[in-house]
């Protein structure tokens, strides 16, 4: 007669726990889903179109969307707190106009860039103050910022302003050679540095923890003694800063300033953040997910470019379908949580 080993259930249980430990936490699932979607799209493109799998195609995604990556970083901070910023596209346009106008007047590029950053931060600060201290809805406050910034664009320049500054143009046209004959640009390096800094701030500092806490429950964050007022205003300053930086990168990309630049770009930034897995209600999301969301949007445009027969409006249709799908999935995930 044999007796059962009393340790067997414990061993089996621990083994089962170890197996369960390989499952990713639920907070990572949206980012993993976005990454899987991006890989699947590239796989489909590689099968359908010759040359789609070339590494330079991936590098071009970053080159063509470096400004949108930076814009999505700022939008991620705002949406994580449960807010929204509709002014970012207009601030991008204003940044290009200010940069072009000041360099046309003979200002050094560095001084022009500092002025652009100050303007972006100031606009973000004013909207943040209105939202927190005057209890204005973020939609209304940032909509006012949208009209204000776009109106300034038309006052400063009603026509396209080419940028002829040699230093600025030289930096825009410079490329970084990579092994295998591939290349990228300094704008991509700047964008990735901003992503790295943003990820560090969100996940390794008190400011980042406060951002998530405000999005989860602002009242609880106040009761815990977190600096809610400073951080809530600060995220709009961050968004204004990222909008200004995105405007400078867009100036490098277009080498011009124009009042009609970046029309609707705020919607692209919001779509990228949501597709990247950040909850619109706040409290959950990652900067890396927003970057993946931007790459998904860029991949859709690349599909259309490689096909050559599709209208560019298919980009908007595909983005709309993806955005709706991700919002529905978010709602289902939130409802299942206790």
What average pLDDT score do residues 240-266 get? Answer: 96
Show the beta-strand stretches assigned E in the chain: 161-162, 175-178, 182-185, 256-257
Q: How far is CA 187 from the centre of its chain?
A: 15
Q: Give CA–CA dist 200/114, Å, rounded.
A: 24
Do residues 238 and 88 make contact, with C-beta atoms less than 8 angstroms apart? no
Confidence of residue 231 (pLDDT cuts 50, 70, 90): very high
Percent of the chain with pLDDT over 90: 77
Q: Taking each helix axis from N to C terminus, what angle separates 55-80 and 186-204, rounded to the nearest 10 degrees?
A: 40
pLDDT at position 22: 44
Q: Which residue is it, tokens 């990572």?
A: 28
pLDDT at position 320: 87
Q: Give CA–CA dist 257/101, Å, rounded.
A: 8
176 forms beta bridges with 184
- For residue 4, pLDDT over 60 is answered with no
Q: Which of 150-154, 160-164, 318-322 has the lowest mean pLDDT?
A: 318-322
Neighbouring residues of 236: CB distance < 8 A, sequence distance ≥ 6: 78, 83, 85, 124, 125, 127, 128, 131
User: Among 183, 172, 159, which Cα is nearest to 104's?
Assistant: 159
Q: Report, in angstroms and rounded to the nearest whole number, the Rg of the chain calculated over CA atoms.
A: 23
Neighbouring residues of 202: CB distance < 8 A, sequence distance ≥ 6: 77, 80, 208, 211, 212, 286, 287
Where helices occur in 81-185 by DSSP H, the ranges are: 88-104, 109-133, 138-156, 166-173
In the chain, where are the structural domains located?
Answer: 28-336
- For residue 16, pLDDT over 50 is answered with no
pLDDT at position 330: 73
Q: Give CA–CA dist 83/282, Å, rounded.
A: 7
Say how many C-beta atoms besides its own lie within 10 A of residue 140's C-beta: 13
Q: What predicted TM-score, i.e. pTM, was given to this entire model?
A: 0.90
Q: Give CA–CA dist 122/124, Å, rounded.
A: 5
What average pLDDT score do residues 19-46 get? Answer: 79
Q: What is the mean pLDDT of the chain?
A: 90
- For residue 300, pLDDT over 50 is answered with yes
pLDDT at position 331: 72
- For residue 21, pLDDT over 50 is answered with no
pLDDT at position 179: 94
The larger pLDDT score, comparing residue 240 to residue 314, is at 240
Confidence of residue 333 (pLDDT cuts 50, 70, 90): low
Report DSSP state, residue 282.
S
What average pLDDT score do residues 287-293 get? Answer: 96
User: Among 95, 97, 89, 98, which Cα is nearest to 146's?
Assistant: 89
What average pLDDT score do residues 321-325 get? Answer: 86
Do residues 92 and 71 make contact, with C-beta atoms less than 8 angstroms apart? yes
pLDDT at position 227: 95
- For residue 106, pLDDT over 60 is answered with yes
Say how many C-beta atoms besides its own lie within 10 A of residue 146's C-beta: 19
Q: Which of 47-61, 295-309, 318-332 has the lowest mean pLDDT?
A: 318-332
Enclosing H/E stretch for 19: helix 8-21
- Altogether, the residues listed in the chain come to a count of 338
- For residue 23, pLDDT over 90 is answered with no
- For residue 17, pLDDT over 60 is answered with no
Q: Which residue is it, tokens 């300053």?
A: 237
pLDDT at position 15: 41
- For residue 272, pLDDT over 70 is answered with yes
pLDDT at position 45: 92
Topology (CATH level 3) of domain 28-336:
ABC transporter involved in vitamin B12 uptake, BtuC (1.10.3470)
């Amino acid at each position: 007669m044999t007796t059962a080993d009393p340790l067997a259930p414990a061993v089996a249980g621990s083994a089962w726990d170890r197996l369960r430990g390989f499952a990713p936490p639920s907070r990572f699932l949206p980012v993993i889903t976005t990454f899987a979607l991006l890989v699947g799209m590239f796989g489909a493109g590689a099968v359908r179109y010759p040359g789609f799998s070339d590494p330079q195609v991936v590098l071009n995604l970053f080159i063509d969307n470096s400004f949108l990556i930076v814009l999505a970083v700022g939008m991620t901070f705002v949406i994580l707190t449960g807010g929204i910023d509709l002014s970012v596209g207009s601030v991008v346009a204003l940044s290009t106009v200010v940069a072009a106008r000041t360099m046309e007047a003979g200002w050094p590029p560095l001084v022009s860039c500092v002025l652009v950053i100050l303007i972006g931060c100031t606009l973000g600060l004013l909207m943040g103050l209105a939202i927190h201290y005057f209890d204005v809805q973020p939609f209304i406050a940032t909509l006012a910022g949208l009209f204000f910034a776009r109106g300034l664009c038309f006052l400063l320049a009603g026509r396209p302003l080419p940028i002829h500054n040699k230093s600025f143009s030289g930096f825009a046209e410079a490329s970084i050679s990579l092994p295998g004959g591939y290349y990228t640009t300094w704008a991509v390096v700047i964008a990735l540095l901003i992503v790295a800094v943003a990820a560090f701030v969100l996940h390794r500092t008190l400011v980042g923890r406060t951002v998530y806490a405000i999005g989860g429950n602002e009242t609880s964050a106040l009761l815990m003694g977190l600096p809610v007022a400073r951080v809530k205003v600060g995220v709009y300053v961050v968004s204004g800063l990222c909008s200004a930086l995105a405007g400078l990168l867009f100036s490098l990309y277009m080498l011009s300033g124009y009042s009609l630049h970046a029309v609707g770009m705020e919607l692209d930034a919001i779509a990228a953040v949501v597709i990247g897995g950040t909850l619109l209600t706040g409290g959950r999301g990652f900067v890396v997910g927003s970057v993946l969301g931007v790459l998904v949007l860029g991949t859709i445009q690349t599909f259309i470019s490689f096909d050559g027969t599709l209208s560019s409006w298919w980009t908007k249709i595909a983005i709309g379908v993806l955005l709706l799908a991700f919002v529905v999935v978010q709602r289902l995930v939130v409802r299942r949580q206790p």
